Amino acid sequence: MLPGLVVPPAGLPQVQKGDLCAIALLGNRAPVAVGVAAMSTAEMLTSGLKGRGFSVLHTYQDHLWRSGDKSSPPSLAPLALDPPDLSEEKESVQADPALQGDLRRLTLEGEEENGEVQRMCGEKSLSEASEDPSVRGLNPDPTDSKTLQEQMDELVQRCFLHALKCQVRKADLPLLTSTFLGSHMLSCCPEGRQLDIKKSSYKKLSKFLQHMQQEQIIQVKELSKGVESIVAVDWKHPRITSFVIAEPSPTSQTIQEGSREQPYHPPDIKSLYCVPASMTLLFQESGHKKGSILEGGEVRMIIINYVKRNDLVDADNKNLVKLDPILCDCILEKNEQHTVMKLPWDSLLTRCLEKLQPVYQVTFPGQEPIVKKGRICPIDITLAQRASNKKVTVVRNLEAYGLDPCSVAAILQQRCQASATVTPAPGAKDSLQVQIQGNQVHHLSRLLLEEYQLPRKHIQGLEKAPKPGKKK
């Protein structure tokens, strides 16, 4: 089903209806299912990633899998970080006569191509493969000071200390060990490297955390059967206090500066007023014409100067203003034209502002101001019911404040540990909405108010956050 599909930063791959596709989990390139595309990529995007996307033919742990050796899928890193281990492939082909026989029986496009495959497997020796820079990283020289396992041990401990020092807070405890690995340790892995505990001497996360518990850095407990959580952290431990976060390389800094990881700064939003045709006579004396954009303070000064210049202040009561024909035409209703002769100052100014057209100006840091008619729509947070009485949180109007709905969805998906999708907002042209499973208003409130520092008056629906349970 498409709602569970994670869209990569580069976008969905282009497929046509009926194409055979491999389905993999996030962070592992090894397929866990094989299916046929039920619609093309364009149709998936048009549907807002809703409905059936693939008809599954074969999955991990189905009857076909049980009839085999029942092996688990391998752990394959993304293509950019996982160059093929050519030496291992060649060793297996050269060492296993059965595989050599299989290669001889291959018929790709004829006997000539079959011969080319065999020559390619035999041309390059193992010594040449070890000199290949793409292989050298995976098969280090035995004379190297550290083995692959030792390097992975260092990486695991580095990500562990980095996560505790920079990401985990006391309020996050107790923290599931699986969440700690997936949401914190993996995000602290340096660019260009792949964290894989199976390749370390610890082999399992639980064993590594037990080792850290023995060093009295953390305390792990089994709060529910079979599920472990980190319940305490000694942030004053020498290993955490002495840990130094490595500075990112100049290349990675350049990439981050030009990407969406650049820090977000809230826009400056001003409420303005536009002079309509019906009010031009009142404002033309001050040099303004139809369509002029004014701030509220400027409008008040223009009205006050107009009244004083035309000697309209009531002689008996300075708080009243006599209405001349221009003021009558501009601010009075038709049924008031012959009945209302004077107005208090505050009523005069309020009526004048109400007759002007509302306009708002949005200024993002380092950009030219953007002026639009009407009033800016607040970020709208609503709760909706879905199938099986499940709640979902829907967020709209993020684009008006310079927020990318896809980026917000990715952040919420990681923090809430819940599915998040981006779909076209109903009734709004070229606008998207973010939908997260469950009531996630509390997480949204922290993200929008504390991190993005948006004014509370521009966000509606924050009162729908779940109420904290009563303490027993």
* Options 2.30.130, 1.10.3470, 1.10.10, 2.60.40; CATH of 2-67: 2.30.130
Bridge partner residues of 32 (DSSP) = none
pLDDT at 122 over 60: no
pTM attached to this predicted model: 0.43
Cα–Cα distance between 246 and 241 in angstroms, integer? 14
In order of 279, 365, 397, the CA distances from 359 in angstroms are 16, 20, 17
Domain ranges in the chain are: 2-67, 148-242, 270-361, 377-464
| 320, 312 contact by CB (below 8 A) | no
Residues 6+ apart with CB under 8 A from 250: none
Amino acid found at 149: Q
- Of the pLDDT bands very low, low, confident and very high (cuts 50, 70, 90), residue 470 is low
Mean pLDDT of 174-184: 82
Q: Which among 93-97, 265-269, 429-433 has the top mean pLDDT?
A: 265-269
Two tokens, residue 251:
């290349």
Cα–Cα distance between 240 and 217 in angstroms, integer? 8
Give yes or no on whether 2-67 and 148-242 have one common fold: no
- 293-295 sheet: strands from edge to edge: 293-295, 268-274, 357-363, 370-373
In the prediction, which pLDDT does 214 show? Answer: 92
Cα–Cα distance between 421 and 4 in angstroms, integer? 8
Residues 269-296 have pLDDT tens digits of 888 999 999 888 888 888 888 888 899 8
In the prediction, which pLDDT does 247 show? Answer: 59
- What topology does CATH give the domain 270-361? MDM2 (1.10.245)
Residues 89-102 have pLDDT tens digits of 444 444 445 544 44
Cα–Cα distance between 100 and 47 in angstroms, integer? 48
Mean pLDDT of 175-183: 82
Nearest Cα residue to 394 out of 379, 383, 403, 409: 383
- What topology does CATH give the domain 148-242? Arc Repressor Mutant, subunit A (1.10.10)
- From the number of C-beta atoms within 10 Å of its C-beta (0-12, 13-18, 19+), residue 356 rates as buried
Q: Which among 5-9, 73-77, 241-245, 349-353 has the top mean pLDDT?
A: 349-353
Residues 339-352 have pLDDT tens digits of 888 889 999 899 89
Percent of the chain's residues with pLDDT above 90: 16
- Of the pLDDT bands very low, low, confident and very high (cuts 50, 70, 90), residue 209 is very high
Residues 325-344 have pLDDT tens digits of 888 888 888 888 788 888 89
Architecture of domain 377-464: 2-Layer Sandwich (3.30)
Nearest Cα residue to 59 out of 22, 96, 18, 112: 22
Mean pLDDT of 17-36: 90
Q: Which of 61-75, 90-104, 302-316 has the lowest mean pLDDT?
A: 90-104
Indicate the helix (H) or strand (E) that contains 44.
helix 41-46
| 282, 356 contact by CB (below 8 A) | no
